[in-house]
A = this chain, B = another copy of it.
Amino acid sequence: MSELFAGLQQLLGASHVQSCEQAAPYLTDKQGHYVGAVLAAVHPANTQEVAAVVRLCVQHNAPIVVQGGNTGLMGAATPDASGTAVLLLLDRMNRVREVDTDNDTLTVEAGCILQSVQDVARNAGRLFPLSLGAEGSCTLGGNLGTNAGGTAVLRYGNTRELTLGLEVVTAQGEIWNGLRGLRKDNTGYDLRDLFIGSEGTLGIITAATLKLFPLPKAQATALLAFESLGQAVEFLSHARAGFGASLTAFELLTADCLALLREHFPQGPQPFIKATQPWFALLELSDNHSDSHARDAFETVLGEAFDAELLADALIADSLAQSEALWQLRENMSEAQKRAGRNMKHDISVPISRVAEFVEHTNALLQAHFPGVRHYTFGHLGDGNLHYNVAHPIGSTVEAHMAHYEALSLLVHDSAHAHGGSISAEHGIGQRKLAMLPRYKSAVELDLMQRIKQALDPRGLLNPGKVLLSQNVKGNV
C-alpha cells in the first residue's frame, strides 16, 4: 500500500477510500471510449476534506481527477491509464445548504444530482430551469464543470448564466468561498466564470449558489412543420418577437428524425405521418398567467406566422398528455439512434443566421465524400446548437461507417468553424476533442488559456490531459 493511499485512509477513514479494483465502476466513461486506472478513489464528506485531499495529493505529486455522475460525453472525468491519479467523488457532498426564496437563490453542494436540485426548487415553489437528458444521474458539479446546456437555454441560459456564486478548492488545497447570492458585484476578476466550464482543470467546485425563477403557471406545446430550414429560422425570429421571454424551447427535428422515431417507437406518438415538409420544430411557451392566456398567445403568434407564410403546418397540444407525447419525440431521439446502430455525433453550434447555410453546405460535402450517409440533424435551434449526427449508408455496415470517423468529423468540424461556429456547443472538450482544439483556436487564445492554467495550477495536477495538452502548459513570458 502506498504512502499516499494510507494517508488518504487516515484522512477520510478507510471506508471512504477505494482501491483501483474497487473503483472500477468509475473508471470507464459512459460512451465506453476510455478506461482509466487510479491509485485511489476517495469520497470526502465535506469541503474541508476535499481541500485536505488536494494538499495530500500535492505533497505526493499525484494528479487529481474529479467525477460527478459519469455522464459526460468527452471523457473529461475519466483518469488516464497510468494509475497515478486520485479520483475524487463528491457523492457524499449532496447537501442543500440554503434555500432563499426572497432572493430566489439556492445553495447546494456539487455532489447533488441535478434532478434533486430541480426538486428542491420546486418544493420551494420555484423553478431551477437547467434540464437535460442525464438529469436523473448527472451532478451539479459536472454541470458546472462543463457549463451544461440542455433544452431551456433559449430562455434561461447555460449553467453559467444560472450561477451566482461558487465554492472552489484550489490546486493548492485552499478553499475559495465565493458563494455570493448577488445579482450585481463588480469587485474584481470574474473567478466564478473561469472555474465554470474548466472541466476540473483549474479548481474543484464543491458548492454553488444558483438562481431560481418563478414556476410558470401554464405551458403550451406545439409541433410545427416548415418547408425549409430557412423558414424555421425566420419563424424563430417572429416567435421571439411575439412571445418574448415566454418562448422557452425551440427544438428542431428533421422528417428523417420523425421517420426514425416511428420505426423504433411504433407504439409512440406518430405526428405528421403524411407530411411532406422536411423540417419540424417542437415549440414550448411558458406562461405566468393561465392556460387560456398561453393558448391565446399561441394562436395569435402562430396565426400571424401562417399569414406571413413563415409556417407550413402546426399541431398544438390540447392536453398535458399530448404535450408530453410531443416532448417524448424529442427525448426518444437518443434511444432511437442507439437502436438504429451507432452513428457519428457532432455537437456543433453556429450563429442562428448561418444554420441553414451550414446544414446545406455540410450535407452536400458529406454526400460528395461519403455517398449515401444519412443525416439525423436535430437540436436546439434557438441556441444555434445542432446535434449534427451522421449514420451509415443503407447497404453499408455501422463498422465500415465508423471507420471513417476521423475524416468525416473533420469535414463537419471544419465546416462549423468556417461558418463562425464551435466544435463543442455544450459537451466540452475533455480528452475526446483535445487534439482538435489547436486546429480551431488561435495561438493567441491557446496561449491565454495556458497562461491561466499555469497560474492557477502550476504543477499541472488538476485533471491533466483534459482541455489543454499538458505539454502545452508552459511558463509565463
Contacts A/B (CB < 8 Å), 7 sampled: A170-B444, A183-B384, A184-B422, A189-B448, A242-B288, A244-B288, A452-B452
Interface size of A by Cβ–Cβ distance < 8 Å?
A: 103
Integer count of this chain's copies in the complex: 2
Q: Provide the bound-state CA to CA distance between A170 and B437, in Å.
A: 21
When distances are taken between beta carbons in the complex, the residues of chain B under 8 Å from A420 are: 180-182
Q: Which partner residue on chain B sits nearest A245 by CB separation?
A: B245
Q: Does the CB pair B193–A349 fall under 8 Å? A: no
Q: Does the CB pair B146–A351 fall under 8 Å? A: no
Q: Does the CB pair B445–A380 fall under 8 Å? A: no
**A253 → B minimal CB distance (Å):** 18
Q: Which partner residue on chain B sits nearest A436 by CB separation?
A: B187
CB-CB contacts below 8 Å: A428-477 with B: 428-429, 433, 437, 440-442, 444-445, 447-449, 451-456, 458, 467-468, 476-477
Q: Given contacts A189-B449, A190-B194, A197-B190, is CB(A184)–CB(B352) below 8 Å?
A: no
The residue among A243, A244, A246 with the most chain B CB atoms within 10 A of its own CB is A244
Q: Provide the bound-state CA to CA distance between A376 and B300, in Å.
A: 46
- Whether, in the assembled complex, A334 has its beta carbon less than 8 Å from a beta carbon of chain B, the answer is no
The residue among A188, A216, A385, A455 with the most chain B CB atoms within 10 A of its own CB is A188
Q: Which partner residue on chain B sits nearest A385 by CB separation?
A: B184
- Whether, in the assembled complex, A353 has its beta carbon less than 8 Å from a beta carbon of chain B, the answer is yes
Q: Does the CB pair A103–B353 fall under 8 Å? A: yes
Q: Does the CB pair B476–A153 fall under 8 Å? A: no
Q: Does the CB pair A186–B147 fall under 8 Å? A: yes
When distances are taken between beta carbons in the complex, the residues of chain B under 8 Å from A183 are: 153-154, 158, 349, 382-385
- Whether, in the assembled complex, A161 has its beta carbon less than 8 Å from a beta carbon of chain B, the answer is yes
The residue among A160, A288, A423 with the most chain B CB atoms within 10 A of its own CB is A288
Q: Which partner residue on chain B sits nearest A171 by CB separation?
A: B477
Identify which of B161, B289, B422 contacts A187 (C-beta below 8 A).
Answer: B422
- Whether, in the assembled complex, A240 has its beta carbon less than 8 Å from a beta carbon of chain B, the answer is yes
Q: Provide the bound-state CA to CA distance between A452 and B198, in Å.
A: 15
When distances are taken between beta carbons in the complex, the residues of chain B under 8 Å from A242 are: 288
Question: Which residues of A does B touch, CB under 8 Å?
Answer: 100-105, 146-147, 149, 153-155, 157-158, 160-161, 170, 172, 174-178, 180-191, 193-194, 196-198, 202, 213-216, 233-234, 237, 240-246, 286-289, 297, 300, 349-354, 380, 382-385, 420-429, 433, 437, 440-442, 444-445, 447-449, 451-456, 458, 467-468, 476-477
Q: Which partner residue on chain B sits nearest A161 by CB separation?
A: B161
Q: Which partner residue on chain B sits nearest A468 by CB separation?
A: B188
Q: Does the CB pair B241–A288 fall under 8 Å? A: yes
Identify which of B350, B423, B444, B452 contacts A175 (C-beta below 8 A).
Answer: B444
When distances are taken between beta carbons in the complex, the residues of chain B under 8 Å from A193 are: 190, 193-194
**A254 → B minimal CB distance (Å):** 20
**A234 → B minimal CB distance (Å):** 8
Q: Does the CB pair B202–A189 fall under 8 Å? A: yes
When distances are taken between beta carbons in the complex, the residues of chain B under 8 Å from A237 are: 101-102, 104
Identify which of B174, B197, B467 contacts A444 (C-beta below 8 A).
Answer: B174
Additional 20 contacts, C-beta under 8 A, given A187-B424, A458-B477: A100-B351, A100-B353, A102-B351, A103-B351, A103-B354, A147-B190, A149-B184, A176-B448, A186-B422, A186-B426, A187-B423, A188-B197, A188-B429, A189-B449, A189-B467, A214-B244, A242-B288, A244-B245, A448-B456, A458-B476
